[in-house]
Structures are given as structure tokens and as C-alpha cells.
Structure 1
Amino acid sequence: MSRKRRLAFFGSPAWAVPVLEALAREHDVALVVTQPDKPRGRGLETQPSPVAARAEELGLAVAKPRRLRKDPEIAGQLCALGLDAAVVAAYGQIIPEALLQIPRYGFLNIHPSLLPKYRGAAPVNWALINGESETGVSIMRLDAGMDTGPVFIQERTAIAPDETAVELSERLRDRGVELLLDVLERLETARPEPQEGEASYAPLLEKEDGRVRWSDPARKVYARHRGVQPWPGSWFEHRGKRVKVLEMKPAKGAGAPGEVLEVGSEGVRVATGESAVELITVQPEGKRPMPATAWARGHAVATGAPLGGG
């Protein structure tokens, strides 16, 4: 029979919702801490985070402090709950050291990398962009550093050749939930070990990270494309207009980087620094998504023409 733990949960985006749901099924989630409501959608109406919305549906208490470090009430709230542990999954704020000491067994975090590799906010994205063949998920105890705490358990997994950051992050999360539940079951005896090996960092992506680098080999262009999903996405500039690349795949061919090799029935084949890629679906600035072939023909992009983007 599983041990029912008294927990607080810290999370915000849709990615974290399945983690909350699993904890609510198996344990007593006494408080959900999430980011404040923000304007969203076309009408910019103020809406709760996905975690807040799901927590309210589950009948769980919710707190939405603007700044954990400056909130005078959150520490008192947590102290009054008699927590066994707190769980963090993509919360969006640094947890102050004073709060880390409140739960009996501290704060546990699902981190989708093989720590100490890819500490930081975007580990899955950078693993793909950098062409890693494998990655993993770690269950760690938070300390005052940036993902520097000791690790309870981690598991390796191969990265599939066409897997995007969205798909990989969800797969790592789902396995991470299983590992997290196992650690929660054995909190009294679980002994996290200090991280070993060379650390690397995975900062938040910037818009420029999505720019297609035609001079890179095709494998790197495609790896970056998979890694920058869903934001900022792949894009290049052509005749002063930005064009998003929604779908692409590696292809054969050779030419000057950025040179259009073929406007075919299935897509637009473009040379890279080594081999080529095929653009399948694009979205011109201010337009709806469309087949890359239709975009090319509508903009008189012919074989031999250079595409912008670097």
C-alpha cells in the first residue's frame, strides 16, 4: 500500500498539469502554487495558468504570489500545512532558500536532462539543437543553486530521429512522473547523491535561436528545427519578410547554402552547408500556414534562387 504524502505543488504551464493530476490521485496536495493570472489570447483577457485552472477543477487550494521572495504570506502558508515535501514542475520562479527548508523532506523537482548536463530552463530544446543522441530525466532535491541539488534517480533514453522538443519533453515528463512517485514512496530511506560530471547550461531560448542557418549541415538545420518547437520556431527572412518553417525534413542535394534546388510537388528543396533540407509547410509573415511549394510559386521563388536566413 502506498504512503500518502502531504504535498505542495509548484507549477504553471500545461506541461506541468499531468504531474499535478498524478500527485492529486496518489497523495494529499494541500496547496498549489502557480504564476499569477495573465492576459492571454486575442482578446487579452486575464486567465489563470493551466495549472491553476486544473487545480481549481480538482478542488485544490491555490496561491498565486507575484514574487515568492517578496511575498510575506507564502512562508506562513507553507509552514502551517505540515508538509512532507513540495514538488516543482516548471513553476517559473526561483524558490527562495528560506522556503526550501519548510517541508520535512524538502523540494523535489522533475528535470528533463541527465544532470549536471543542461541545467537551466530549456534542457530539452538545447539537447536537440546540439544534436544529442540521448538524454534523460532526473528527480532531484532543490538547493539554492540553479539545478545543482543532489539527484535521487535518473534514467537515460535515446532521442528518436524525428522527435521534436514538444514530443520529447512530454515523454520525459511522463516517465519523470513515474520516477517521482517512486521516490515519494520511499522518502524516509531515499538518499540523493551529489551530481557528478561536467555541468552545462540550457538558457531560455531567444527569437534569434530559431533562425535557419543555411550554412550549417542539413543534420544540424533539422536538429535546430526540432529543438526550437513550439517557440520560437524555425524561420528565415526572404525579401525582407519573415517566413516560418512549420515542417521540414532532411533531403539529398548540394549547392550554395540557401540555394533553392527544386520547387517540387511535395516541397521546396534547399541546399545547406552539407546536403539539403526540404521545406514542406511554411507560414509567411501575416499569412496563414501553406504548402511551401505554394509559397514559392506565389513569390516567384525559382530553382537557383537564394533564400535569406544566414
Structure 2
Amino acid sequence: MSRRLAFFGSPAWAVPVLEALTRDHEIALVVTQPDRPRGRGLKLAPSAVGAAAAEMGLPVAKPRRLRRDPEIADRLRNLRLDAAVVAAYGQIIPPSLLEIPRYGFLNIHPSLLPRYRGAAPVNWALINDEPETGVSIMRLDEGMDTGPLFAQERTPIGPHETAPELADRLRDLGVEMLQNVLAHLEDWETRPQQGEPSYAPLLGKEDGRIRWADPARAVYARHRGVQPWPGSWFTYGNRRVKALKLRPAGGAGAPGEVLEVGPRTVRVAAGEGTVELVTVQPEGKRPMPAADWARGRGLRPGERLA
């Protein structure tokens, strides 16, 4: 059944959600973040969703603050919406808007709510080395990801999946679930979230620092979870070095101790096991094999990385 919808989203991750909805439903309005300076010239440019919506000829609104925009509520009321769909919009939807669509606001959240409420659920599930995660289709309420659930599905996390890869896979699963919910809104009953909540705040630069005292498996889990930003990094000689590619390995030593500068990798001791640095990027330089960087800096076994 076709629905009359508003879509709230901003980054490139949300564009496939919008594209899928346009194939089966009427998108009466796309709401996205305002244009921002981008690129070398810092010219104003639309969000990825804003650009995609414009190409599809869809009406677009770009309120700076939903709470302070008196026109957006009137505009939504006049659209006579069945529902609104939210996919990584970037602003909290105020209570004054939540009850406007007939069936409320539906949100695709890439976690098993109430686990990992917040802005970075995929990243923290990986950082914490969770064996599985999932997708929740939720009706928004006034809280932070606290609304009742329409549907929820579990999926194992691959041993080498990175945050962008997992996020895209969860999004695609979420689109299928969302389409099913939209087709049966009249008959679908929501259920409250159950269990102990946990939270997934936005990542900061320090979250990418390699914790050499952690087990090698945990270092690798964090590495996968902090892609593409802030990325994994360590310091040597008071200079930051990005670890673009690394992997866990066997062996033992004092955490952060360089054990071997091999022909292709640099092996560093972790709290349990070791980490092989494969590709690095020193500050102000291009990516390079870790072994080349180490030989260029005269790095020797026994030295410590921080």
C-alpha cells in the first residue's frame, strides 16, 4: 500500500532509504540539514539527501532548528501525512511535530534497542566487540531513542566488518523492515523496549587512540569501529601516526613495545597478543607501508609506541 510520507534525513547513508521509499510511496516533503560550507573553496553545498531529493524533483525543507521554525509544523499539517520516516536526520524532532502524521514518526535505528541508544550505535557495537547487532524500527517519542518498537531483527557481526560496511548492511536490512511496517501500519502493534539500555555517544578524536594495554583483539575491534573517523592512531616521538591498516597477531611483550620491524609490517605488543601495523600515515605525509615508515624513522625493536 502506498503511503503519503515526509522523509527526514541528511547524510549519504540515508540516500538509499529515500530512494527506496520513492519507488513505493509518495514523498510529500524531504526535510534535511541546511546547506553547509564544503570543499576547498568552502562553498555552500546541500547535504547528500538534499542533493538527491533535488535531483528527484522532490520538495525540500532545510530548517536550521526545528524547534525554532514556526513554519515547519504548519507545512507538515497541511500535507496530511500518513507517516514521517527518519534516517540519520541530525536534529531531535520536537514533541510539537511528533503527533502530526497519522501514524507518527518512524525511525530506522541500527542497533537492538534499548542497546546503543544515541548517535553512533554501529561504531560502539564494534568497539565493544559485540558478537551481534541488529536493526530496530521505532516510533519516535520525546526521549532519546526510547520509543516503542514496530519491529526488530538480529544479525551477527562479521569478524572483519568495519563501521561503514556494517552501517550499510544494517541500513539495507532496515529498509526491508521499514517497507513491511509501512505496508501494514493499520494492523501493526508496537511494543515497549525491554532490557537494560546502553548509550552510543558521538565519537571524539581520542576514541581513535590505540590502547596498547588492551588485548590485540580489542585493538582490532576498536580499529574497525572508528572508521572512517577518527580512525586508529598512536604517537611516536610526540607525533601522531594514523594506523590505516592493522591486524591482530600472536606473540607477547610489554604493551606498546615494538617487537619486530619486518619486511612488510611492524609488530607491536598489546596487553594480550600483538598487533601488526600494515599501513600507516604520519602527520603531513601520504599513506605508506608501516615497515617503510619504521625504517625511515630508525624505529628499532624495544622502542615504545604510545
- Place the TM-score, normalised by the shorter chain, in its bin: over 0.9
Question: Letter of the aligned partner of 1:48 in structure 2?
Answer: P
- Cα separation, 2, equivalents of 1:167 and 1:275: 26
Say whether residues 1:183 and 2:189 are aligned partners.
no
Question: Which of 107, 120, 135 lines up with 2:118 in the alignment?
Answer: 120
CA distance in 1 between partners of 2:91 and 2:67 (Å):
9
Structure 1 residue 253, shift from structure 2 partner: 1.3
Shift in Å at residue 203 of structure 1?
0.6
Q: CA deviation at 1:259?
A: 0.8
Residue 21 of structure 2 is aligned to residue 49 of structure 1? no
SS in 2 for 1:152: strand
User: Residues of 1 paired with 2:63 and 2:265: CA distance?
Assistant: 48
Instruction: Work out the CA distance in 2 between the residues paired with 1:138 and 1:265.
Output: 46
Please point out which of 253, 257, 262 is paired with 2:255: 257
Q: Indicate whether 1:246 and 2:229 are aligned.
A: no
> Could you say what the CA RMSD is over the residues aligned between the two structures, in angstroms?
0.7
Q: Secondary structure at the match of 1:198?
A: coil
Corresponding residue number in structure 1 for 2:296: 298
* Residues 82-120 of structure 1, C-alpha deviations (whole Å, 9 max, x = no match): 100000000000000010010000000000000000000
Which aligned pairs between 1:79-94 and structure 2 lie closer than 5 A? 79-94=77-92
Deviation at 1:74, TM superposition (A): 0.4
- The structural deviation recorded for 1:266 is 2.4
Which residue of the partner structure matches residue 278 of structure 2?
A: 280
What is the deviation of 1:265? 2.0
* Structure 1 CA distance for aligned equivalents of residues 82 and 173 of structure 2: 22
SS of 2:118's equivalent?
coil
Question: Any stretches of 5+ residues in structure 2 without a counterpart?
Answer: none
1:129-174 CA distances to partner (integer Å, 9 max, x unpaired)? 1110000000010000000000011000111111111111110000
Write the deviation string for residues 258-301 of structure 1: whole angstroms up to 9, x where unpaired.
11111112211110000001111111111111111111111111
Which letter does structure 2 place at the counterpart of 1:163?
E
Q: CA deviation at 1:305?
A: 1.4
Letter in 2 for 1:38: R
Q: 1:233 aligns with which of 231, 234, 245?
A: 231
TM-score of the aligned structures, taking structure 2 as reference length: 0.99
CA distance in 2: counterparts of 1:13 and 1:131, whole angstroms: 26
1:1-310 alignment, distance < 5 Å: 3-308=1-306
Deviation of residue 43 (structure 1)? 2.0
Q: Distance in 2 between matches of 1:290 and 1:76?
A: 55
Q: Give distance in 1, aligned partners of 2:18 and 2:268.
A: 44
Q: Partners of 1:151 and 1:293 in 2: how far apart? A: 50
Q: Give the percent of matched residue pairs that are identical in Structure 1 and Structure 2.
A: 74
The whole-number CA distance in structure 2 between the counterparts of 1:204 and 1:106 is 26
Q: Which amino acid aligns with 2:305?
A: L
C-alpha displacement at 1:237, in angstroms?
Answer: 1.2
SS in 2 for 1:128: helix
SS of structure 1 residue aligned to 2:70: coil
In 2, the alpha carbon distance for the partners of 1:243 and 1:159 equals 28
CA distance in 2, matches of 1:67, 1:280: 44
| Pairwise CA distance, 1:209 | 0.6
State TM-score, norm by structure 1. 0.98
Deviations 1:213-271 (A, max 9, x none): 00101011111000111111111111111111111111111111111111112211110
**Deviation beyond 6 Å, 4+ runs, structure 1:** none
Distance in 1 of aligned mates of 2:86 and 2:41 = 31
Distance 2:62 2:193 in 1: 32
The CA distance in 2 between the partners of 1:182 and 1:265, in whole Å, is 53
Equivalent position amino acid for 1:186 in 2: H
